[in-house]
Amino acid sequence: MSAAQNQSTMEAKLKALQCHFTWDIDTSRSKLFRLRDKLEDIGTDEGNSWLGHIYNLQGYIQYQLGFTEDAQRFFSKATEAFHRARKDSDEGPWLLVNYGNLAWLHHQLGEKAESQTYLSKVDTLLKEYPSPSQDELHPEIYAEKAWTLMKFGKDKKVMVADYFQRAIRMQPDMVEWYTSHVIGLLNALKHCDKPLEEEILEKMRMAKEQDPENFYLAALDLEQRAKKGERIEDEARELARKVLENPVSSYSGLKKLLRVYKNYVSVDEAIDLAEEALEKHPDERFLKRCAALCYKWKILFSRDSPAKQSMIDKAISLHKEVISLYPHASLVKKIDLANVNAKSKQGLAKAAQIYQELLEMDLEPADKQLLYSGYAKYLNFDLRDYNKSIEYHMKAAAIPEQSFFRENSIKVLKKIKERNRSRKCRDIERFLAKLDV
């Protein structure tokens, strides 16, 4: 076989692999940087059943960002994590995606022999561990694909649910797959005002029974019950004690529990809980992010009297620190910092300056949309510049990126049009007609 034919055959085999390099993954740099931070905040607790998958995704992100040495390091860590997690066997189908990633990485680096080695490893595994269901992928592949695509937005939710269901149907004893499937369903509906369907609630109850030590799931369950009018304050406080005893991780359930506190217990108790966690682990950036979020809630959304300057100063200090700790994913926190500053007379000029700097940045469409949505609210609530606020809601809605921010801006514009009190109502009507919403 000629060298050209060899190359063509190898490329065809690589394209047929099931791994991060062949899945439909959004590779916009801002999204990848944000996701890299999120994955780092999950932590590396050895009890985490998704550790190998986390390292796999981290490796792929590092490759896409141009850090090939880091990519190789993370893919190797994924191999080690899978070996440790499945003590009963050194090799198994759980390595299919990992070996596929390594085959692709070596190919991209021009290391053909190494790439061929991993292609052969994938072939061997597929022969030794065929899928239990003909014409379907191996359940281990479906589970990892679902878990990965879950991180890339609501538009993947139907695919994610389908992949998890296929994996669970073929291998029903994997509790973590069922739990993650339910968490994925609930997170995809987190901005939905309608009550959850009984089928989803039943799945959540089953997941909670099978995985009682998953505190993230427990916090989601509390939230759903509180939405239905149940009193959950005592259970929330009891869950908080358990969460604080666990290693720090974005999977620990703390952030979700803080939201439950904010909506159904009290924002002040949310602040106390975040501060207590931070006191136990003063160097954890994830906990600083949680604390900053709680102070923002208190200052921006509390119906109490205006926040004291000392609290605003504390929030500003925390936000600045969080921005320095998440340098590549700080847009949201910079918007929050501007909004917190705007709540005191001394900070109004600083808020305007932050927003001006952000508006002058060269941002990707999704980030622009997020910024325009935040700026529109600031113009409305802090500067009382209603006409300019409408303009920026239109700018946010005009960006064809399906998101909570676009939906929110469209909702605001429709409400203004229905009230019919603004001289911009005709403009809004024409704009919405053009968007066909």
State the DSSP string of 317-328: HHHHHHHHHSTT
pLDDT in tens, 78-116: 999 999 888 766 789 999 999 999 999 999 999 999 999
* C-alpha–C-alpha distance, residues 48 and 120, integer Å: 29
CA–CA distance, 327 with 349 (Å, rounded to integer)? 23
Q: Among 334, 361, 388, give the residue marking a domain's end.
A: 361
pLDDT for the residue 1:
54
- The contacts found for 163-166 with CB under 8 angstroms, 24 or more apart, are 166/133, 166/136, 166/137, 166/139, 166/142
Q: Quick check: is 96 in a domain?
A: yes
298 and 391 in a single domain? The answer is no
* Both tokens assigned to 142: 């479906």
Q: How many CB atoms lie within 10 A of CB 330?
A: 19
Single pTM value for the model: 0.93
Q: Is residue 161 part of a domain?
A: no
Q: Are residues 55 and 117 in the same domain?
A: yes
**Residue 27 belongs to some domain of the structure:** yes
d(CA 227, CA 305): 26
Any domain includes 136: no
Residue 74 vs residues 118, 143, 206, 396: alpha-carbon distances, Å: 16, 20, 34, 37
Helix, coil or strand: residue 367: helix
Tens of pLDDT, residues 300-325: 998 878 899 999 999 999 999 999 99
> Are 125 and 42 contained in the same domain?
yes
The terminus-to-terminus CA distance of the chain in angstroms comes to 57
308 vs 271: CA distance, rounded Å: 15
380 and 353 belong to one structural domain = no
Specify if 82 maps to a domain.
yes
- Helices 96-108 and 51-64 pack at an angle, to 10 degrees, of 20
Q: Residue 392 domain-assigned?
A: yes
| Residues 97 and 118 reside in one and the same domain | yes
E strands, 167-206, are none
Question: Which residues 6+ apart lie within 8 Å of 31 measured at CB?
Answer: 152, 364, 366
The radius of gyration computed from the CA coordinates of the chain, to the nearest angstrom, equals 24
Say yes or no: 343 and 387 in one domain: no
Same domain, 300 and 368: no
248 within 8 A of 278, measured Cβ to Cβ: no
Among 322, 345, 361, residue at a domain's last position: 361
- Pair 351, 428 in one domain: no
Domain count of the fold of the chain:
3
> Is-contact 141 99, C-beta < 8 A?
no
- The CATH number assigned to the domain holding 57 equals 1.25.40.10
Q: How far is 429 from 433, CA to CA, in rounded Å?
A: 6
- Tell me the pLDDT of the chain (437 aa) as tens digits: 566 667 789 999 999 999 999 998 988 899 999 999 999 999 877 668 899 999 999 999 999 999 999 999 999 999 999 998 887 667 899 999 999 999 999 999 999 999 999 999 999 999 999 999 889 999 999 999 999 999 998 888 999 999 999 999 999 999 999 999 999 999 888 777 677 888 999 999 999 999 999 999 999 999 999 998 999 999 999 999 999 999 999 999 999 999 999 999 999 999 999 999 999 999 999 999 999 999 999 999 988 788 999 999 999 999 999 999 999 889 999 999 999 999 999 999 999 999 999 999 999 999 999 999 999 999 999 999 999 999 999 999 999 988 999 999 999 999 999 999 999 999 999 999 999 88
Relative orientation angle of helices 233-245 and 215-227, to the nearest 10 degrees: 170
Q: Which long-range contacts (CB under 8 A, 24 or more apart) does 123-129 make?
A: 125/91, 125/92, 125/93, 125/95, 125/96, 125/99, 126/96, 128/91, 129/92, 129/93
User: Looking at 80, 100, 129, which one is the last position of a domain?
Assistant: 129
**Pair 391, 327 in one domain:** no
Compute CA distances 406 → 17, 61, 181, 372, 375, whole Å.
36, 27, 26, 10, 13
For residue 375, tell me if it sits in a domain: yes
Structural domain span for residue 122: 3-129
Nearest-angstrom CA–CA distance, 422 and 309: 34
For residues 351 and 420, membership in a common domain is answered with no
354 and 390 inside one domain: no
**Are residue 106 and residue 24 in the same domain, yes or no?**
yes
Helices of type H across 302-364: 309-325, 331-341, 348-359
The pLDDT of residue 3 is 63
Check residue 193 and give its pLDDT.
Answer: 67
Does the residue 434 lie in any domain? yes
